Every structure is written in C-alpha cells, then in structure tokens.
A and B are shown apart, each in its own frame.
Chain A
Amino acid sequence: GNSVTQMEGPVTLSEEAFLTINCTYTATGYPSLFWYVQYPGEGLQLLLKATKADDKGSNKGFEATYRKETTSFHLEKGSVQVSDSAVYFCALSNTGGFKTIFGAGTRLFVKA
C-alpha cells in the first residue's frame, strides 16, 4: 500500500542554518506530494505541493522537488528562522482520491 517515510526528529538548528527534512514515499500510480506545517496548538497548513514528477513546490522560502526516480520529496530551506519552529508532515494522495497518507512528522526547533 501507499506509505510515507520521513526523517525522525527533533531537528534542532540555529537561526539562518540550512534545513533539509528527508521524505520518501511508496505509492501506486502517480501521487501528488505535499508538505504540511503544524504550529503548536494549531491545525495543519499546506506549505507546498507538487503534482507530477520534476515539479518543484515552493512557499515562504521552503522548496521541495518531486523526484520519481528516487521516490523522494525532500523539504529544504536555505536560512531558517525561529518562527519556522513547528512540526512538518510529508504527505501523498493519489490522483482523484484525496485520501491523504501522512508521514510521522518531523519536529523542528530553531534557536535564536
């Protein structure tokens, strides 16, 4: 079945450091891939998405590229801020289905 695996956290970085959160997936067909962010005590917010191979999703300085050959969708940001501290979820859904499968989440702490 479909699944998403992302790196375990927590990840602790200093402000302005480079961020990478790895995400790989297993899926039949051609899923859409997503990164969601959850700030403390809040629901999920869509951060970025990519719907086909080689697409790059980007938002708020974050970006991720849909790599079909490596079944990966790693999240990157060149310079993190304290306000980026949150839990990040990688997710996939099959076209037309919208049953979203989430990874376990990676907690990010950014120190000033």
Chain B
Amino acid sequence: GAVVSQHPSWVICKSGTSVKIECRSLDFQATTMFWYRQFPKQSLMLMATSNEGSKATYEQGVEKDKFLINHASLTLSTLTVTSAHPEDSSFYICSARTGGDADTQYFGPGTRLTVL
C-alpha cells in the first residue's frame, strides 16, 4: 500500500533553534498534505493543509510564521518550527492524500520533537 515517511523520527534541539521536518509520499504523488500535532495522551489537532505549489492554509490559532510549511513538490512537504521553545515539544504527524478515483489519506509515522 501507499507509504508516507517522515524524517527525522525524533529530534532534540535547544530552545531558540529551528527544526525542519520532512514528509514524503514514497510511491504516489500527493496533491495535498496535512500537518497535525499531537500532545501526550491527546488527539491529533490539524495545524495546516498544504497544497503543492501554493501557500499552506493554517487552522485558527496556528502561527504561520512559527510553523513554516513548504510543499515544494508532489512528494515532499516540510514543516519548519522556527525559534523553537519547550512548549513546541510535541509529536508532529503528516498525512498525504492520493487523489484520483481511490482518494485516500495516508499518515506518516510521526516525528517527536523535544525542545530543551
């Protein structure tokens, strides 16, 4: 089946630094990718919807200047957490939509970010 990968799977960084997380669709082209955030023992919260070649659409309350999303190609979207702080520590999960007749959404394995 379709596979979505994320890199890195975990990252630890110092407060004030920026961290980039990649999301790739490995065997299909994704016109739309989504970024979610999951706090410990909580549900996933949609952060933004990313369409290839256009600006991401952010959900209410998500700072677009803090969480930069770039969907440069049909197989790659990146999320950059800028000037990270400890409260940004979380599990970030992307998903990709296949489109077409069997339009389906596949989730990546997630990236655990810890900001010290």
Interface residues of B in 81-110 (CB under 8 A from A): 93, 95, 97, 103-110
A28 → chain B, closest Cβ, in Å?
Answer: 17
Which chain B residues border A101 with CB–CB below 8 Å? Answer: 46
- Check: B67 CB closer than 8 A to any chain A CB: no
The residue of chain B having its C-beta at the shortest distance from the C-beta of A45 within the complex is B107
Give the interface size class of chain A.
10 to 19
Interface of B (DSSP majority class): strand
Given A98-B32, A99-B49, A100-B105, residue A43 in contact with residue B43 (CB < 8 A)? no
Looking at A17-25, A54-62, A74-82, A102-110, the stretch in contact with chain B turns out to be: A102-110
The residue of chain A having its C-beta at the shortest distance from the C-beta of B103 within the complex is A98
Please report B residues at the A interface, Cβ cutoff 8 Å: 6, 32, 34, 41-44, 46, 49, 93, 95, 97, 103-110
Please report A residues at the B interface, Cβ cutoff 8 Å: 36, 42-46, 89, 93, 98-105, 107
